[in-house]
A and B are shown apart, each in its own frame.
Chain A
Amino acid sequence: GAGVSQSPRYKVAKRGQDVALRCDPISGHVSLFWYQQALGQGPEFLTYFQNEAQLDKSGLPSDRFFAERPEGSVSTLKIQRTQQEDSAVYLCASSLVSGQGASGSYEQYFGPGTRLTVT
């Protein structure tokens, strides 16, 4: 079956531009996560959705970052007024269940990522 897909795969933005990154999770997956992976580092959590509800946005680095999942399926991560420090790979992951408590044992399935370069 289809896995998690992300688009675009590569994005070059000039500093100050707004960007929108799209994630299509695995069909039927309740949970959706966004992570940021800087060069040479492991992924770092940005935000989490359970269906359409954004339950945790504690990892968003600034108010320039905004994510939505209006119908509980596709999600968009938007970065306003991009800065050079925003350059990273943005990973989306989905999971079958809520991920909370005992459901945290379920693995997350990752998309290929969007590599954002801010010049």
Chain B
Amino acid sequence: AQSVAQPEDQVNVAEGNPLTVKCTYSVSGNPYLFWYVQYPNRGLQFLLKYITGDNLVKGSYGFEAEFNKSQTSFHLKKPSALVSDSALYFCAVRDRANQAGTALIFGKGTTLSVSS
């Protein structure tokens, strides 16, 4: 069965410091991996995705994520955090070998809090 784990409910970081939001996944085949961000009372916004190729993926708002197949991880990173980055972040996976399955499987989310 497919699953996603976000081991930290909350990550706290000072503005200007680097941030990491962790994600590990489990699929039977090779994954498509996604990060979404959710602001209060708003829908999920797409940040970035890993499809194939370079393990380091760059996305919106200066975020990037590194795919590590051996560790089945897809951690979200940003070199310098902004207060406006404070939000709820979701990692999601889809098994590319699953011809029928189309749904994204989400982690439970990590709240990022950036202090000034």
Using CB atoms and an 8 Å cutoff, list the residues of chain A in contact with chain B: 3-4, 31, 33, 35, 40-45, 48, 55-56, 59, 91, 93, 98-102, 104-105, 107-113
Contacts and interface: CB of A to CB of B under 8 A. Distances in A.
Contact of B103 (A4, A45, A98): A45
Interface string B27-55: 00000101010000111111001010000
Q: Give the bracket for the number of chain B residues in contact with chain A.
A: 20 to 34
Q: Which of A35, A42, A43, A99 has the most CB of B within 10 A?
A: A42
A109 B44 CA distance: 8
A42 B25 CA distance: 14
Nearest to B48: A107
B102 A104 contact: yes
Interface string B78-116: 000000000000101010101111111111110000000
Contacts of A109: 46
Nearest to B9: A40
Given A42-B92, A43-B104, A104-B94, 5 more contacts: A33-B102, A33-B103, A42-B108, A43-B106, A99-B102
A31 B102 contact: yes
13 contacts: A33-B104, A40-B109, A41-B109, A42-B106, A42-B108, A44-B106, A55-B102, A59-B103, A93-B44, A99-B102, A104-B101, A105-B49, A111-B43
A99 B103 CA distance: 8
B3 to A, nearest CB: 11
Contacts of A105: 32, 49, 51, 96
